[in-house]
Amino acid sequence: MKTKKIGLVILIFVLINFLSAKVINSSEKKLPTWIYESPKGDKFFYYSGIGSSKKTLEEAKHIAISDVISEIIQEGKITIDGSIYSKSGEYENYEEVNTVNEIVKEINIKGETQKIAGLKTEDIYWQEEENGNELIYRYWILMRLPKNIKDINFQINQTYGFAPVWRSALIPGWGQFFKKQTKKGYIFLGSETVLVGAALFSNYLSIHYNDKANKEMNITTRKEYMDWSDSAEAIAITTGIAAGVVYFYNVFDSITSKGAKKYAANSNQIELFTNINKENFSISLSKKW
């Protein structure tokens, strides 16, 4: 619930500024999805921070990192210098303000810190905006923290395997949606739907006019029906071929396209369960999608 509220606040903030300011420079062409809602996974906690400055981008970055550190501290349990500190009002054994400033400086330089075990920068996004006669710098940062200390150096596999291939083979565009390529997914799904629909409808018209031609006694009218039937058949063949090309290209794209960057590592393993006793024997499979 907290994450959704934060995402809603950030979304409103972005929309307000989008309407009132003009982006003149940015690190990417479009806003990354993690700005609205932090990723979720089995291995890591994800935190996104935002900073804004009318002075420099570096200051906006400093504020964004501080935002992340503050959120981590407020959760009440973090690993600092190899020790666990639980929050109950105030932290003990160290100066909180000084520690936060040291952490921010270290992340600013290295992209990670040794003071919070495993905390690393996952992604960043920044914008330079023009609002009237002034420049505004905005900086977003996504950081990850391992749920288990043994996963500090865990690397997320950026390949998608066979999953998008069978999806696109079943429903064009589904594999692209799976890879978070939403725009491309809609293009494949929409174009395939239109082409298949056109091919089926044209084929229906071809059969319909052919039947009418066979029943028509007037030679002139019969010829018109046959011409319409032939035209409809030609359209059906053309759109059918086009639908086939789009379908196979959709499958090919699901195999070759890189897909969106994966931030969260989720369990996707098949588990085998067996039950053996004197009366029966059973095997079941469980898969987390």
173 in the same domain as 137: no
Q: Which of 92-96, 130-134, 221-225 has the highest mean pLDDT?
A: 221-225
Count: domains in the chain: 2
CA neighbor of 146 nearest in space, from 71, 267, 37, 46: 46
**Distance, CA of 206 to CA of 232 (rounded, Å):** 5
Q: Specify whether 139 is located in the same domain as 168.
A: no
Which pLDDT does position 131 carry in this prediction?
A: 81
99 and 23, same structural domain?
Answer: yes
pLDDT tens figures, 45-62:
899 999 999 999 999 999
In a domain, 34, yes or no: yes
Residue 243, amino acid:
A
Provide the whole-model pTM: 0.60
Q: 173 and 145, same structural domain?
A: no
Confidence class of residue 266 from pLDDT cuts 50, 70 and 90?
Answer: low
- The answer to whether residues 146 and 23 belong to one domain is yes
Per-residue confidence band for 267, with pLDDT thresholds at 50, 70 and 90: low
Shared domain for 131 and 173, answered yes or no, is: no
183 with 67, same domain: the answer is no
Candidates 231, 195, 181; CA nearest to 210 is 231
Q: Report if residue 284 sits inside a domain.
A: no
For 48, phi then psi, to 5°, come to: -115, 140
Q: Is residue 273 part of a domain?
A: no
**DSSP annotation of 258:** -
The answer to whether residue 279 is domain-embedded is no
Per DSSP, the residues of 165-234 read HHHHHHSTTHHHHHTT-HHHHHHHHHHHHHHHHHHHHHHHHHHHHHHHHHH---HHHHHHHHHHHHHHHH
Res 103 pLDDT > 50: yes
In a domain, 233, yes or no: yes
Angstrom CA distances, 90 to 80, 93, 96, stand at 15, 10, 8
Q: Do 22 and 140 sit in the same domain of this protein?
A: yes
Strands 281-287, 270-276: pairing is: antiparallel
**Same-domain check for residues 125 and 174:** no
- Tell me the pLDDT tens digit for each residue of 152-211: 778 888 788 889 999 999 999 999 999 888 899 999 999 999 999 999 999 999 999 999
Statement to judge: residues 81 and 119 lie in one domain: yes
| 114 and 199 together in one domain | no
Q: Which residues contact 155 (CB under 8 A, 6 or more apart)?
A: none
Provide the pLDDT for residue 152: 79
Lowest mean pLDDT among 9-13, 143-147, 217-221: 9-13
Whole-number CA gyration radius for the chain:
29
Supply the range of the domain harboring residue 111. 2-151
Rama region for 82: left / alpha / beta (φ>0; ψ in -120 to 50; rest): left
Cα–Cα separations (whole angstroms), residue 5 to 8, 37, 76, 120? 5, 9, 19, 24
What's the rounded Cα separation, in Å, for the pair 56 and 48? 20
Q: Is 180 found in the same domain as 100? A: no
